[in-house]
Amino acid sequence: MSASTSLLARIIPPLRSGLISRSLSSSLNLRYGDDPGRALDTKEVPMIKDFGKLESEIAHDNALKGTITLPDRDESLVEISGVPIQDHIKGRSVRVFRPAKSAMQSGTAGVRKWRLEFETRERWENNLMGWASSGDPLSNTVVEFAEKEDAVRFVEKNGWPYWVDDPKERLPKPKSYALNFSWNKRTRKSTK
């Protein structure tokens, strides 16, 4: 007698008498009032796929199993952004770029992300204080992406005209420690 049959032999009498724990009955897919011997007579134990779901959720999941057709351009992104469409989004071009290194930093770790920048609109200046103002909600928007392709895909999805500014890659000059001690006028220090 194998170990699995001996285990079933120990489980069947409590099952038939109705003395079964709740966790074991839920693992055997039994409901309250069902015959526990019926689950053991089957060859396989049925899997619980929709455990804890309502009937409406199961019907919704079954409806989604079919083919879903996506439109080429997602119109809903523009409509729910909260920005007035006619004033600020239509006819607006976007620049996709990687920002230049700041003069206050020596490394290039902070300039690896790609950004979106909308073209600037009219600004006005307060005569008394000299503050500049704009009614443009997209003027100070900063959207960053890890890859250029992601930024371009986002702009195309929203239907904005765009152009890409590819950064000029600077190749580092090869330097050696010996150049600090070379005998030429550039590295020679005067003693005066």
| pTM (global) more than 0.85 | no
Q: What is the pLDDT of residues 61-82, one digit of tens each?
A: 887 777 666 656 555 555 566 6
Task: Give dist(CA 72, CA 156) in Å, integer.
Answer: 10
Q: The tokens 């919704």 sit on which residue? A: 60
Alpha helices in 28-88 (DSSP H): 36-41, 55-64, 76-79
> How confident is the model over 91-107, as a mean pLDDT?
84
Q: Is the pLDDT of residue 155 over 80?
A: yes
CA angle, corner 48, sides to 6 and 21, nearest 5?
Answer: 50
Alpha helices in 65-129 (DSSP H): 76-79
The model's confidence at residue 185, banded by pLDDT at 50, 70 and 90, is low
pLDDT of res. 142: 87
In the beta sheet, which residues pair with residue 163?
A: 95
Q: Is the pLDDT of residue 55 over 80?
A: yes
Task: Look up residue 146 and give its two tokens.
Answer: 């890890």
More confident residue, 74 or 162: 162
More confident residue, 41 or 149: 149
Asked whether 8 and 40 are in contact (CB, 8 A), the reply is: yes
pLDDT of res. 25: 44
Instruction: Specify the DSSP element, H or E, that contains 112.
Output: none
pLDDT of res. 36: 64
Q: Which CATH class is domain 76-165?
A: alpha beta
Residue ranges of domains in the chain: 3-52, 76-165
> How confident is the model over 17-40, as a mean pLDDT?
54
